[in-house]
Amino acid sequence: MIKDLYLAAGCFWGTEHFFKQINGVTFTQVGFANGNTPNPTYKEVYTDTTGYAETVHLQYDPLKVSLSFLLQMYFKAIDPTSLNKQGEDQGTRYRTGIYYVDPYDLPFINLAMAEEAKKYGLPLCVEVMPLQNFYSAEEYHQDYLVKNPDGYCHLPIALFQYARNNQDTLTLNKSQQYQLLIKQFTALAAGETDTLALMANAAALIHETFHFWWTGYYRVVGDELVLGPFQGPVACMHIGFGKGVCGTSWKEDRTLLVPDVEAFPGHIACSAASRSEIVVPIHKNNQVVAVLDIDSQHLSTFDDCDQYYLQTLVQLLP
């Protein structure tokens, strides 16, 4: 599962080279994003009349590097309080922006923006918008600093070394933990047909591995979710269809990653200690029959790595 992200950070030559140093980034391409004219050339964009921003298209493997980590590194490479200027490069084409294609990424982007804004005590000059359009720049711009090692770059050379030395090792470790957990559960499930028993063991495995605040299941019974096997403190016993994070996951039949539960419309506060949450629907005969619900006491605990492996895990239930 490869994901896409588009980042405007001033001159795209240095920005592309910076992100190429990060393990988990599988593809980079420089170009022009969110402008007003079709098929712009570099010379046209340079006039500052097309509305485009110099932008780097990243593709990354969320099992190796998280969106949150990429955004942390992004803020290392820009001055987020500078409007239309990075380094000595000035103009609207050099504005900063985070352009997303997956709407489920937006809560994580907003959280990263809020955390960064706290450092400055004033609003940031970074656009956060859906990607409207993107055109690749001419070939001589691609991998410019690989082709021209002594070429112009607004970023300090030390920043490239910083990117190489600061990899998202936490996500790598988490991926490995999930892989081991799934192997353990597969062994436990061999020959077992009782779904409730397997739910109980899966909840215990997840809880013991990651020490989340609450790990458990809600089963579809009629028009509501009813509490199933779980690990953690006392929980809500009944949740209505479309209510809270669990009921919404059931209604919309999709995994929900919630970095801040207080910001989720209609959140049901079974425990004031819960800060972030992931809910994964479980299917049988193409119908949602239950959800796996995991809560954390910390903000923004869950990411694409959790989603991938937890979706894999629930598919192993009979």
Residue 189's alpha-carbon distances to 62, 178, 186, 200, 272, in angstroms, are: 27, 16, 5, 11, 34
Active-site residue among 11, 246, 270, 305? Answer: 11
Of the candidates 64, 299, 75, 60, the residue with the CA atom closest to the CA atom of residue 168: 64
Quick one: which H or E segment has residue 224? Answer: strand 224-231
Q: Is the dihedral of CA 118, 120, 123, 127 positive or negative?
A: negative
Q: Cα 136 vs. chain centroid, distance in angstroms? A: 24
Q: Would you state the structure tokens that stand for residue 75, as one six-digit string?
A: 């803020």
Is there a catalytic annotation at residue 153?
no
Q: Where do the H-state alpha helices sit in the chain? A: 12-20, 42-46, 67-76, 106-120, 144-147, 157-165, 169-189, 195-210, 244-252, 304-314
Q: Which amino acid is at 173?
A: N
Q: Would you state the structure tokens that stand for residue 49, as one six-digit string?
A: 């009349």
Q: Cα 307 vs. chain centroid, distance in angstroms? A: 10
Q: Is the dihedral of CA 135, 140, 144, 146 positive or negative?
A: positive
Question: How many Cα neighbours within 13 Å face the side chain of 269?
Answer: 7
C-alpha span between 8 and 149 (Å, rounded): 22
Residue found by looking up tokens 């109980």 in the block: 200
Active site residues: 11
